[in-house]
Amino acid sequence: MIEIGEPPFIETPTIGGLENMMVDDIIDSSNACWNVELLNQFLCPRDVHAIMKIPIIASSHGDERLWRFTSNGEYTVRSAYQLIMHEFIDYNGLSMEGDWSLIWKLEISPRVKLFL
């Protein structure tokens, strides 16, 4: 369990050439655990201890991209358009009270209905 409180500040000084190291580089993927030997090689004991508290979740499948604004997780231009329209346009001042559905029941030209 990760403790809540002050953010953990890394004490280990940056080692030249390892600035671009990724988290995946310090995980033993075959055993789904931290590579403790590698951690101890480059980090101070306090930092190793803090990293060891972070659980690694083993997954049977790799990462994949998902678009959370569609039910199937796939990106569509339509879903992006709907997101933009919903998130960025304020419709509060554009509506008027009343039962506007009555317009469609009128016996007038469809062009007039659309104009109204």
CB atoms under 10 Å from CB of 103, counted, come to 14
Return the structure tokens found at 16: 């030249």
- Give the global pTM: 0.42
Q: Residues 9-19: what's their mean pLDDT?
A: 70
Domain assignment present for 9: no
The answer as to whether 4 is a domain residue is no
Confidence check: pLDDT of 5 > 70: no
Tokens standing for residue 107: 């016996």
Confidence (pLDDT) at 59 = 67
Q: How many domains does the chain have?
A: 1
pLDDT at 4: 47
Look at residue 42 and tell me if it is in a domain: no
Higher-pLDDT residue of 56 and 6 is 56
Does residue 86 lie in a domain region? yes
Tell whether 97 is covered by a domain.
yes
CB 32 within 8 A of CB 58: yes
Q: pLDDT tens digit string along 51-67?
A: 899 888 776 666 678 89
> 3-class SS at 34?
strand
